[in-house]
Amino acid sequence: MRTQILIVGSGPSGLLLGQLLGTIGVETVILERSSREHVLGRVRAGVLEQGTVELLEEADAAARLHAEGLPHSGISLAFDQRLHRIDLEALTGGKHVTVYGQTEVTHDLMDKRDAAGLTTIYEAANVTLNDFDGEAPFATYDKDGVTHRIDCDFIAGCDGYHGVSRKSVPERALKTFERHYPFGWLGVLAEVPPADHELVYANHERGFALCSMRSTHRSRYYVQCPEGDRVEAWSDDRFWDELRRRLPEQTAAGVVTGPSFEKSIAPLRSFVAEPLRFGRLFLVGDAAHIVPPTGAKGLNLAASDVRYLFTGLRDYYREKSHAGIDAYSGKALARVWKAVRFSWWMTTMLHRFPDTGDFGQRIQEAELDYLVHSRAASTALAENYVGLPY
């Protein structure tokens, strides 16, 4: 088999890149190690920057998003038993974010790919990437007991942190930067209305909490938990009690409890790999970088990578220009590091660390107070939250 672009990974970044390339007639094949059902079963974040929504519109995959997504013009910071609203639209000239689950984005893009008759190969085992440092890259994979080969012009590695793409790069060619945070997020999904019509980020002496949602009837809540905690130790009752303790009274009163249908603990880390291009192999999204979910940047960073790579490949096939693909790594990383900084800042400001102590707590309180009372500081948060320009 031969294609122009081989995309490894059928998450939202791989599907979005494939859909955008399809709109300009560039051939793609997607290789996915898991089943379609497994990919659609992943529960991930769902706060989309305006730029991400515009990319989905360009890919003609935003109809359901506009019908069912929830535009949010602000967020609230909860501390000192009060809610402090950050008006995103007023501070950024009308920009907002949209709450729409990553699973739904994936589903929409899969449906578009199916309708266009484009090829996705699920349950592809033992994927290997070859000769991407030369002029004729190819991949091999096993399926149904047979080894197959796909030749291509370029490979886009959209297969996540644990995927084969980054692991295929020689160690000497790759530099990585990493920070682990000494706690996790215990998250639950429940079929209950959200406590507030917008997201609430809470700083409390017992630890961080977040009130989020997937829809007007499905809520996503998180509490900071110690590193090494086990999900089995958290009954639904214990979770709801702990969540309400960390919220201002008026917000806690709005928490509707119910049985959770998904509960998990996510470790927090910051990770960046440089560069993002190795000959004819490009790293995209979580294959190249991970951020704590505090700033709602993971999916949005993947989308911005896709935007830079798509425009570079578009220019290559339309105009025979290498300028865009040559600039891909530098442009993408410049935006990545700004989002890494923002996510780190939000995480350090809102969480209690083992060494926070009385001094650290007072610093957090002073920073939060300054943030909500300074228009300049609030604007900086808002500009980063809705998404920096490409």
CATH code for the domain of 186: 3.30.9.10
**Residue range 199-222: average pLDDT?**
95
Active-site residues: which are they? 72, 201, 293, 297, 385
pLDDT at 366 over 80: yes
Q: Which one, of 194, 219, 261, 216, lies nearest residue 68 by Cα?
A: 216
What's the pLDDT band for 265 if we cut at 50, 70, 90? very high
pLDDT at 241 over 80: yes
**Residue range 333-356: average pLDDT?**
96
DSSP 203-272: --TT--EEEEESSSS-EEEEEEEETT--GGG--HHHHHHHHHHTS-HHHHHT-----EEEEEEEEEEEEE
pLDDT at 42 over 80: no
In a domain, 79, yes or no: no
Name the residue type at position 175.
K
**Residue range 332-344: average pLDDT?**
98
* Phi, psi dihedrals of residue 145, rounded to the nearest 5°: 75, 10
Q: Name the domain count of the chain.
A: 2
* Radius of gyration, CA atoms only, the chain: 21
- Close Cβ partners of 371 (under 8 Å, ≥ 6 residues apart): 77, 349, 377, 378, 381
Q: Is the pLDDT higher at 17 or at 40?
A: 17
- pLDDT at residue 46, rounded to an integer: 86
Alpha helices in the chain (DSSP H): 12-23, 36-40, 50-58, 63-68, 88-92, 102-115, 164-167, 236-245, 249-253, 298-319, 323-350, 357-373, 375-386
Q: Tell the burial category of 318 from Cβ atoms under 10 Å away from its Cβ (0-12, 13-18, 19+).
A: exposed
**Residue range 167-194: average pLDDT?**
96
| Cα 35 to Cα 144: distance, rounded to the nearest angstrom | 13
The encoded tokens of residue 1 equal 């088999």
The encoded tokens of residue 81 equal 């038993």
How large a percentage of the chain has pLDDT more than 90? 95
What rounded mean pLDDT belongs to the chain?
Answer: 96
**Residue range 361-380: average pLDDT?**
96
In a domain, 339, yes or no: yes
In a domain, 230, yes or no: yes
Name the residue type at position 358.
D
What's the pLDDT band for 333 if we cut at 50, 70, 90? very high
In a domain, 76, yes or no: no
The pTM of this model reads 0.94
Do the strands 281-283 and 5-8 form a parallel or antiparallel pair, or are they unpaired? unpaired
pLDDT at 118 over 90: yes
| Cα 79 to Cα 225: distance, rounded to the nearest angstrom | 18
The DSSP H or E segment spanning 320 is none
**Residue range 162-177: average pLDDT?**
96
pLDDT at 44 over 90: no
**Residue range 309-319: average pLDDT?**
97
Verify that 222 and 144 share a domain, yes or no. Answer: no
pLDDT at 281 over 70: yes
Residues 24 and 314: beta-carbon distance below 8 Å: yes
- pLDDT at residue 175, rounded to an integer: 97
pLDDT at 45 over 70: no
What's the pLDDT band for 295 if we cut at 50, 70, 90? very high
The encoded tokens of residue 293 equal 């979910």
Verify that 63 and 150 share a domain, yes or no. Answer: yes
Verify that 294 and 216 share a domain, yes or no. Answer: no
Q: Find the domain containing 372 and state its range.
A: 181-268+355-386
Quote the DSSP letter at residue 161.
T
- pLDDT at residue 22, rounded to an integer: 96
Verify that 261 and 286 share a domain, yes or no. Answer: no
- pLDDT at residue 192, rounded to an integer: 97
Can you give the CATH number for the domain in which 118 is found?
A: 3.50.50.60
Residue 355 DSSP SS3: coil
